[in-house]
Structure 1
Amino acid sequence: MNRGGVQARPDDVAERPLTIGQRIDKSYGELSPQEQRAADFILDHLTDLAIYSGTELAHRSGVSKATVSRLFRRLGFENAQEVREHARSLRSSGVPVGGATPGASADLSAHLVREVENLRRCLDALGPERLEQAISLLVHSRSVVVVGMRNSFAPALHLREQLAQARTGVLLAPQPGQTIAEEFADRDARDVAVVFGFRRRPAGFARLVQGIAARGVPVLLIGDASARRYAEFAQLWLECPIDSVTPLDSYASAMSLVNVLASGALAARPRDARTRIASINTLYDAFGELE
């Protein structure tokens, strides 16, 4: 595990090219009426853009193939093949391209199959040994700082709330209006950082993970396959597939992993956990917080 000096990675600072939707929005007023017609169709069918040829786009939007070709060139693409590759790259990076056709029902069977497959892959990769390592980090550390930003915030918050049932010293970062640094000023090898890093991470994520590791704080990194590049800075890396048949990523596997980790922490110290849960329940009653 490399815990050397912090170096910025190119993906943190590189300017990302505009998506096809952004390019259309930027130049829409300069398009001809026929080009606008084709552009409207593209915006309404971004989910299917990766499979349409130029001829199919022309036919479905009711314009000539020459019009579609001119539109692609105006948007900075050489041809329909480049547009299809662009659409595939957007989806693989987590961009929610398009949505279901208005009035169409979701394919729940396909959704279920993909969700089950994500869960299977996640838990197969976890395995008993890695699960034991993760629980040991969560249970035996002085404190646990759970980090989650953007799409990673929800599973991070859920893990914090569930771990707080089992032990003290579980923190969530960043706090509202704060940055990450405040939470790690006093952290060292006696603590652990659980960092969620699902795709479409904020700029500077690489610097963050490296910075935490450089302080000697063990890092438990959880994310989709795109976060594997940061695994070298983590003591333990856990992968959660988030692929979906819909335009939006699914975090079912991440939430399931949170359940497994928190339940394992409860089971690791049953007497302490029961005492803490009893104390919390007493306060629930005293404060009248639950039905």
Structure 2
Amino acid sequence: MTRRIDARIENQYGDLPPQERRVADFLLEHLGDLAVFSAAEISRQTGVSKATVSRLFRKLGFDDFKEVRDHAMALRASGQPTAAPLLTGDSEATTGIQRHIQHEQANLARLAETLSGGRLNEVVELVAGAESVLIIGLRNSYPPAAHLHHQLIQLRSRVRLAPQPGQSIGEELAGLGLHEAVVVFGFRRRPRGFTELVQRTAASPAVLVLIGDATARRYAQHAQIWIECPLDADGAFDSYAAPMSLVSLLANGVLNAALPAGRRRISHVADTYDDLKELDL
């Protein structure tokens, strides 16, 4: 694997002359938005010559700034956190919030376009009609998987979440049957073994629904239904607003697909909350 630029800088930082350190500091502070700069702009922002900027790039193992920029963009696209733009002052902070909201709106619009062809209804019908539902989420995918599990167990029985603490996945996949639905969340920075997990699930009699970002497209061929959920964000970390919105849409759809039974289940769960005094309303 190619070493990250920040690791390369840290490895050589102590040996860099002062002017090259200024450029290195600038790169570290702007890893998340290098795409908006040019080598000339970096020279102007840091007050050093373009020759000094180019010399640092070569020391770090890059031919030119385009290679540096492509490297930083590839890091972000893979889901690795990169330094977000520094926000100083109320006006810049407000601008940062606006950019964040614009990204969220764009993500939701792309999700809506994906779902507009009836794909959401297909997933709803599968989940509502399955005898049992298994939801799988690893690493970054665990929170939306856990949220979907929490919503569905209020609407229907026989819904499982994997992996549980201290549990591996094999036990859950070993006995998958014909009338089961498996919903797998596969967002970027997936752990090793994800390919085998998807292939093993696809080879079972169960129906596989796969939800992930663009990096999971290569697994779509194994699923009966594939839903792409964008995670793009203005800052260093991915945004999971679109996946969480999808969970809400899916849970509401399952409820409406079997409304009388769903209402009875919700009422029974609420009564149990009261009996156990679990909620502080």
Fold shared by both chains (TM-score > 0.5): yes
2:131 and 2:205 mapped to 1: Cα distance?
14
- Alignment pair present for 1:214 and 2:203: yes
1:157 aligns with 2:142: no
Pick the aligned partner of 1:40 from 12, 25, 28.
25
Which one of 122, 147, 155 corresponds to residue 111 of structure 2? 122
- Measured in 2, the distance between the counterparts of 1:212 and 1:64 equals 57
CA contact (8 A) 1:174 1:180 kept: yes
Q: Please say if residues 29 and 85 of structure 2, whose CA atoms lie closer than 8 Å, have aligned partners that are also in contact.
A: no
Q: 5+ residue gaps in structure 1? A: 1-15
Q: Does 1:111 align with 2:100?
A: yes
Q: Deviations over 1:226-255 (max 9, x none)?
A: 211111000100111222223322211111
RMSD, aligned α-carbons = 1.8
Aligned residue for 1:105, secondary structure, equals helix
Mapped to 2, the partners of 1:110 and 1:39 lie a distance apart of 26
Tell me if the contact between 1:152 and 1:196 (Cα under 8 Å) persists in the aligned partners: yes
Unpaired runs of 5+ residues, structure 2, are none
How is 1:68-79 mapped onto 2 (pairs within 5 angstroms)? Answer: 68-79=53-64
Moved more, 114-123 or 99-108: 99-108
User: Is the CA contact 1:58–1:64 (under 8 Å) kept in the aligned structure 2?
Assistant: yes
Percent of residue pairs bearing the same amino acid type: 49
**Does the 8 Å contact 1:197/1:224 carry over to 2?**
yes
Q: Which amino acid in the other structure matches residue 13 of structure 2?
A: Y
Mapping of 1:230-241 within 5 angstroms? 230-241=219-230
Q: Contact between 2:31 and 2:82, CA under 8 Å: does it hold in 1? A: yes
1:41 Cα shift?
A: 1.6
Alignment equivalent of 1:84, drawn from 60, 65, 69: 69
In the other structure, the counterpart of 2:128 is 139
Match status 1:252 vs 2:241: yes
Letter in structure 2 aligned against 1:22: A
SS at the partner of 2:93?
coil
2:4 to 19, 22, 25: 19
**1:65 equivalenced with 2:50 (yes/no):** yes
The answer to whether 1:286 aligns with 2:275 is yes
Whether the 8 Å CA contact 1:121–1:241 is kept in 2: the answer is yes
Following superposition, the deviation at residue 88 of structure 1 comes to 2.0
Alignment of 1:198-213 (within 5 A): 198-213=187-202
Which letter maps to 2:79? G
TM-fit CA distance, 1:102: 4.3
**What amino acid sits opposite 1:267 in the alignment?**
N
Give the conservation status (yes or no) of the 8 Å contact 1:50–1:83. Answer: no
Question: Which of 41, 45, 50 is matched with 1:56 structurally?
Answer: 41
Post-superposition shift, 1:155?
0.9
TM-score normalised to the size of structure 2? Answer: 0.91
> In the TM superposition, what is the alpha-carbon distance from 1:106 to its structure 2 partner?
4.2
- Which residue is 1:263 aligned to? 252
Per the TM alignment, residue 44 of structure 1 is displaced from its structure 2 partner at its CA by: 1.2
Residue aligned with 1:189, SS = coil
